Amino acid sequence: RKLFGRPEEQRAANARARSRGPREAWMVHLVVGGGIVGTFLASTLAKNGGRVLLKARSALRKEAALVAAKAGVEVVQSFEPVVERLRTGALPQLDAIFIATKTYSLAEAASCS
C-alpha cells in the first residue's frame, strides 16, 4: 500500500511498520512462479512488511535473484521444504498463496510439483 509519493517517505513508513511487532506476527505469503511477475509481486510484498517465500521452478535469473534477495524474499525450488517447515511449526501457516505462472504451467503449480 503506497502511503506517500516519494520513495524515501515510503521506505520510512515501511520501516516503521516493520518495527511495530515481531516478524512472526506479519503475514506469510507464498508466491508460486519465479518469473518477472512473481518476483515483482514477492519483492513488493516483502518490502511492505510481509514474510515471503518464492517458489521458482529453477534458479532465478541473475537480475531477479538480486531483486528478491534485496527485498528479503526466500527462494525455494520445491514445495518439500515449505511443507516440512509448516508441518514442524518452523513456519507459521500461510496467509495467502499467489499463483504467478504462465497458463500452461497452472496444472503443474496446482499439483504442487
Candidates 3.40.50.720, 3.60.20.10, 1.20.1250.20, 3.40.640.10; correct CATH number of 26-110?
A: 3.40.50.720
**In 10 A of CB 105, how many CB atoms?**
15
Over residues 8-56, the pLDDT tens digits come to: 666 676 666 666 555 554 789 999 988 889 999 999 999 888 889 998 8
67 sits in which H/E element = helix 62-71
Whether the CB-CB separation of 78 and 109 falls below 8 Å is answered with no
Q: What is the pTM of this model?
A: 0.69
DSSP structure string for 86-113: HHHTSSPPPSEEEE---GGGHHHHHTT-
Give the amino acid at 80: E
pLDDT, residue 109, reads 73
Average pLDDT, the chain: 79
